[in-house]
């Protein structure tokens, strides 16, 4: 359990995600939270746009988290979903080495979109935001793609790369939100917290 979570006897929110990256970003912000991650079906529906897909999943995760929130808890629930999109196709997590290398081949030397939907809700209201970033990967040599797969990092990452990890060396250009590509856009998250009247910044320590 992280410090942000262990101190959260009266949390600002509940996080409906088991992602360590989303937890890390909330900690950077200074948000107090507890985790209430629940599994949801993450399959894209027929004729569903990537934008609608990430918002729907963010809401479904947050709603599932709301149902798992401890009895008597009043803090809202935050859900998020991130998608790597190229040629209007959502790239999920690779099933194996061959699929990971195929994803990297497809992304290399091109620009693609990274969409993150964020939802904050309680019993009375649901509010969402969408973050859009454009990411360009440089051309990748076969040897480095293989070495990257062997590092283990791509196996559980959408699009088979992690901007905050070793995959950062592949990023030639980023237009948009670094934290959004990681999985939780801090700007949009702050906007949602402000709309719910959550003043986490008042606890920021002076001189740091």
* Residue 8 confidence class, pLDDT cut points 50, 70, 90: low
79-90 residue pLDDT tens = 999 999 999 999
Q: Is residue 63 part of a domain?
A: yes
Q: Is residue 189 part of a domain?
A: yes
Handedness of CA 76, 200, 30, 168 (dihedral sign): positive
**Helix, strand, coil proportions of the chain in percent (round to 5)?**
40, 25, 35
pLDDT of 92 > 60? The answer is yes
* Residue 71 confidence class, pLDDT cut points 50, 70, 90: confident
pLDDT of 62 > 50? The answer is yes
Q: What's the mean pLDDT in 39-49?
A: 92
pLDDT of 113 > 70? The answer is yes
* Residue 6 confidence class, pLDDT cut points 50, 70, 90: very low
Task: Using a pLDDT cut of 70, give the percent of the chain over it.
Answer: 96
Q: CA-to-CA distance for 184 and 91, rounded, in angstroms?
A: 18
Q: Is residue 79 part of a domain?
A: yes
Q: In the predicted model, what is the mean pLDDT of the chain? A: 93
How are beta strands 33-35 and 13-15 bridged, if at all?
parallel
The contacts of residue 41 (CB under 8 Å, 6+ apart) are: 60
CB 40 within 8 A of CB 66: no
Which one from 12, 41, 81, 96 is the annotated catalytic residue?
81
Task: Tell me the CA end-to-end span of the chain in Å, nearest whole number.
Answer: 24
pLDDT of 198 > 60? The answer is yes
CB 132 within 8 A of CB 198: no
What CATH code is carried by the domain that includes residue 112? 3.90.950.10
Q: What's the mean pLDDT in 34-50?
A: 92
115-141 residue pLDDT tens = 999 999 999 999 999 999 999 999 999
* Placement of tokens 């409906």 in the chain: 16
136-178 residue pLDDT tens = 999 999 999 999 999 999 998 999 999 999 999 999 999 999 9
pLDDT of 72 > 90? The answer is no
Q: Is residue 122 part of a domain?
A: yes
Q: CA-to-CA distance for 98 and 85, rounded, in angstroms?
A: 19
Q: Is residue 208 part of a domain?
A: no
pLDDT of 40 > 80? The answer is yes
Q: What is the pLDDT of residue 2?
A: 45
Q: What is the pLDDT of residue 3?
A: 39
pLDDT of 7 > 70? The answer is no
Is residue 96 annotated as a catalytic residue, yes or no? no
Domain range for 37: 3-203
pLDDT of 109 > 60? The answer is yes
Count of domains observed in the chain: 1
């Amino acid at each position: 359990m992280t410090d942000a979570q262990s101190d959260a006897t009266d949390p600002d929110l509940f996080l409906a995600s088991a992602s360590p990256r989303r937890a890390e970003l909330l900690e950077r912000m200074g948000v107090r939270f507890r985790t209430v991650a629940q599994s949801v079906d993450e399959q894209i529906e027929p004729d569903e746009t990537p934008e609608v897909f990430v918002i729907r999943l963010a809401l479904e995760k947050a709603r599932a988290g709301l149902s798992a929130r401890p009895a008597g808890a009043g803090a809202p629930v935050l859900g998020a979903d991130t998608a790597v999109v190229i040629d209007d196709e959502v790239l999920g997590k690779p099933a194996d080495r061959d699929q990971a290398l195929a994803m990297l081949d497809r992304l290399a030397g091109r620009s693609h979109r990274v969409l993150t939907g964020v939802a904050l809700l309680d019993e009375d209201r649901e509010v969402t935001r969408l973050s859009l970033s454009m990411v360009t990967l440089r051309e990748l040599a076969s040897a480095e793609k293989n070495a990257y797969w062997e590092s283990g990092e791509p196996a559980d990452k959408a699009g088979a790369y992690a901007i905050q990890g070793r995959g950062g060396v592949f990023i030639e250009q980023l237009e948009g939100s670094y934290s959004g590509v990681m999985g939780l856009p801090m700007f949009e998250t702050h906007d949602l917290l402000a709309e719910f009247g959550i003043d986490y910044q008042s606890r920021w320590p002076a001189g740091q």
